[in-house]
Chains A and B, each alone.
Chain A
Amino acid sequence: MKFKTNAMCMGCVAAIRRSISDITNPADWEFDLNSDDKTMSYIGSEPLSDDVADQVENAIRVAGFKISRL
């Protein structure tokens, strides 16, 4: 599962990780700030349910970042 974000620096990444820490393990997510879409991808071993993915997406929006599913 991959998302497009507006994260620009490690500060944003740290903020996003903290904002989703109640829902999922933040270490299961990988950020690529060099990509054009500033992608955020799921790399966890457990399969990710759509429900959790929605919650993650919402939490990040609530935290004030832009996010959309790719």
Chain B
Amino acid sequence: MAKNDEVKRGTFPVNGMMCAVCAGVVEKTAGEVEGVTEAAVNFAAMSLTIAWNPKSTDPQIVSQAIAKAGFEMIVEDDEDDAIALQEQQEQTLYRQMRRKVWTAWAITLPLSVVCMSGLTFPGHGWAMMLLSLVVMVVCGGHFYVSGEKNALRLTPNMDTLVALSTIVSFLFSLFNTIFPDYWHSKGLDSALYYEASAMIVAFVLTGKLMETRARHSTGSAIRSLMGLQPKLATQLLDDGTTRVSKLSTLRPGDRIIVAPGDRIAVDGIVDDGHSSVDESMLTGESLPIDKGVRSVVSAGTLNISNPLTVRVQQVGRNTLLGQIIDSVKSAQGSKAPVQRIVDKVSAVFVPIVVGLSVVTFCAWLALGGELSLAVLSAVSVLVIACPCALGLATPTAIMVGIGKGAQHHVMIKDATALEQLAHIDLVAIDKTGTLTEGQPMVTDVMWVEGQQTESLSIIHLLERGSSHPLAKAICNWAEQYDFSPIEITDIDHAAGLGVFATIDSGRHWIGSQAMAEMMHCTVDSTARAYIDASLAAGKGVVLYGCDDRLMAVFALSDRLKDDAKHAVDYLRKENIEVALLTGDNRLTAEVVAEECDINEVEAQMLPAAKRDYIASRRNEGKRVAMIGDGVNDSVALAEADVSIAMGTGSDIAMNAAQVTIIDGRLSRLPFAIRLSRQTIRTIRQNLFWAFLYNVIGIPVAAGLLYPSLGIMLNPMIASAAMAFSSVCVVSNSLRLKYKK
């Protein structure tokens, strides 16, 4: 079967089916639509799966047919399709480019071997002309379009340099191929430079390919953010029945039911039910929040324990999540493109070279030289001035830098980040999961009546079945001691308070202070002071007791990462400011900040506030790096000059960031900054070698040695110098790998 006849498949919710006959009707209706090859209703799931030929129909048409039969088939918005289409186009573009790069290298490598070894065979000039022409036109065609555009705008960039140098070398070589004896007859020497054209195109294309790959992955941040937003919601109608509704049909005031394990689709207020909700993607708060009637819930957050009925307040783009998506989009779009070092160099270099060439031409004529000599000199200047060393300078250093980063668990997706990181003035650090472990741990325990092994068994038993992070932390804590596990099956949960079970002597419970009150537990003054002190230190408190007696108090907090202080110290030593940004409360934030000596603390920040903070610091002229791990950091990441994500955090942050620290260790940050500085230094050194070659090559090409020594761009000298400068640049880049 041809590829474009491929059948698409999809499953869609259908409303209104109440019995097997309804299901049959829906199935039959869908199956009769032209272009639908298969239709099957899953009555239990209230869904219809169809296979269709995209050429002759689409789900929208099937949906209309089903609507005519009296049922409602829900087809999701086209937005997803549009994004998928865009992604597909980007993919095609990327693959096209990759093919070009491979083709360019496949031709360039043999070409340069032949050229540099000085091998000749009959017709070898023509063969090389054809090969380099293929590389230039097929692989590098777009350089000439863009190079010309920029030259006309008087803003020469890398493309202009590539276009100019390759065209001149090519035309010069072509002339020499057609009239091999022309310069000889004038008593001059010349050579072929086809491989230089091909080599420049191949190298620069490789650099562009790396850039495209980086850009593509930032787009996927928005896609995964949108993945947090459910497309459908279970609407609770006034007559008590439910139906699956498209989000776009929901209005403020409608009610929806959110099952445990589902993401909440809207911003709204809890109408009925009691559950804990994981809001970490919005606030960065690692603990689930208890939600009861009248609590506010946000779209994209995860309902964990019990069903909730939510009254809709905001839908779609108006929700907090919708605003985050919009901000990430606009931050990515508005960020000024970083001007690459090569572009900066080209802007100065191109006019100078062209100027020198003109000066050479005029000088020869003025000095009474022959016209042919003047032309040869002028062209030689152009040819020799655009060596591949200049094209090699940046890409090789960056390739080696990225490779070295990867060996040390620092994944650099965007080469510009490697250039920027060296110049950072301010690092904004997210708290939860970046500076801290992101998981609460038991830090202190106070035993009211002394510790008993039996208590450990009971505590472990009570907390074992719970998925609450505090319970998990206590379980982990208990497991480091020796105790004999006991088996009791009837453990009761008090929603939002804690758990309890009846064991031999009495009712054992573990939970919040509210739980203690419910058990009429008396807390003496020592324990009270301990609890208050722990709370004041920004810790969470869990109580354990039996009947009305308090047995133990656990203090838990999110621990600082081992290497957090070390990393912050390094930054301060390098005169880089450090700011702590967090969605958490001020108290917790300040305790953490104090532990690692951070003076600047911004607490209770919503995602947009983090972005505004970074934007305002950037407006002050500071170059800001943001390092974070959560969905709530993605907007700030997109806004920052350099964005770094923790590989232990959410995919969305990683997609939004240019750099990912795979193992989440903060000490990789100093390494990354050092690496960036070394890379920049290597690039500068490379440019120096490339220019050194020019400083030697250009005067010779211009014919400065001709009057005294009779040397006129000896091809031997030219190619030796070219090879030497390329080798210098490449080996200098490789040296980066072994630097400490």
Contacts and interface: CB of A to CB of B under 8 A. Distances in A.
B70 A9 contact: no
A28 to B, nearest CB: 17
B113 to A, nearest CB: 72
Q: Tell me the dominant secondary structure on chain B's binding face.
A: helix
Contacts of A18: 70
Given A63-B29, A64-B28, A12 B21 contact: yes
A65 B21 contact: yes
A69 to B, nearest CB: 19
B22 A12 contact: yes
A15 interface: yes
Interface in B58-109: 68-71
A65 B17 CA distance: 13
Contacts of B154: none
Contacts of B69: 15, 19, 62-64
Interface string A30-68: 000000000000000000000000000000001111000
Interface string A3-24: 0001111111011111100000
Contacts of A19: 68-70
A8 to B, nearest CB: 4
B19 A16 contact: no
B239 to A, nearest CB: 12
B715 interface: no
Nearest to B16: A11
A33 to B, nearest CB: 10
Nearest to B21: A8
Given A64-B25, A65-B25, A15 B19 contact: no
Contact of A7 (B16, B21, B26): B21
Contacts of A7: 21
A63 B16 contact: no
Given A15-B70, A16-B70, A19-B69, A64 B18 contact: no
A15 B20 contact: no
B24 interface: yes
B16 A14 contact: yes
A63 B26 CA distance: 9
B22 A11 contact: yes
A17 B21 contact: no
Contacts of B25: 12, 15, 63-65
A19 B72 CA distance: 12
Contacts of B19: 8-9, 11-12
B101 to A, nearest CB: 56
Contacts of A16: 70
A26 B26 CA distance: 20
A5 B71 CA distance: 18
A17 B70 CA distance: 7
Contacts of A63: 25, 29, 68-70
Given A15-B70, A15-B71, A19-B68, A64 B24 contact: yes
Contact of B17 (A6, A11, A17, A62): A11
A6 B21 contact: yes
A17 B18 CA distance: 15
B115 to A, nearest CB: 74
A14 B22 CA distance: 10
Interface centre among A11, A12, A19, A64 (most CB of B within 10 A): A64
A63 B29 CA distance: 7
A64 B16 contact: no
B68 A62 contact: yes
Contacts of B24: 64
Given A15-B70, A18-B70, A9 B29 contact: no
Interface string B1-26: 00000000000000011111110111
Contacts of B26: 64
Interface string B335-379: 000000000000000000000000000000000000000000000
B29 A12 contact: no
Contacts of A14: 16, 70
A53 B69 CA distance: 18
Contacts of B22: 8-9, 11-12, 15
Nearest to A15: B70
B29 A64 contact: yes
Nearest to B28: A64
Contacts of A17: 70
A65 B68 CA distance: 12
A9 B21 contact: yes
A6 B21 CA distance: 8
Nearest to B71: A15
A27 to B, nearest CB: 15
B28 A15 contact: no
Contact of B18 (A11, A62, A65): A11
Given A63-B25, A64-B24, A64-B25, A10 B18 contact: yes
Nearest to B22: A11
A20 to B, nearest CB: 9
Contacts of A65: 21, 25
A19 B18 CA distance: 16
B550 to A, nearest CB: 57
A50 B70 CA distance: 23
A18 B22 CA distance: 13
Nearest to B15: A11
B31 to A, nearest CB: 10
A7 to B, nearest CB: 7
A7 B16 CA distance: 13
Contacts of A12: 18-19, 21-22, 25
A57 B18 CA distance: 22
Interface string B409-448: 0000000000000000000000000000000000000000
Given A7-B21, A9-B19, 20 more contacts: A6-B21, A8-B19, A9-B18, A10-B18, A11-B16, A11-B19, A11-B22, A12-B19, A12-B25, A14-B16, A15-B22, A16-B70, A19-B68, A19-B70, A62-B68, A63-B68, A63-B69, A63-B70, A64-B24, A65-B25
Interface of A: 6-12, 14-19, 62-65
For the complex of A and B, 5 pairs with smallest distance between CB atoms = A11-B18, A15-B70, A64-B25, A18-B70, A9-B19
25 contacts: A6-B21, A7-B21, A9-B18, A9-B19, A10-B18, A11-B16, A11-B17, A11-B19, A11-B22, A12-B18, A12-B19, A12-B25, A15-B16, A15-B70, A16-B70, A17-B70, A18-B70, A19-B68, A19-B69, A62-B68, A63-B25, A63-B69, A63-B70, A64-B25, A65-B21
Interface of B: 16-22, 24-26, 28-29, 68-71
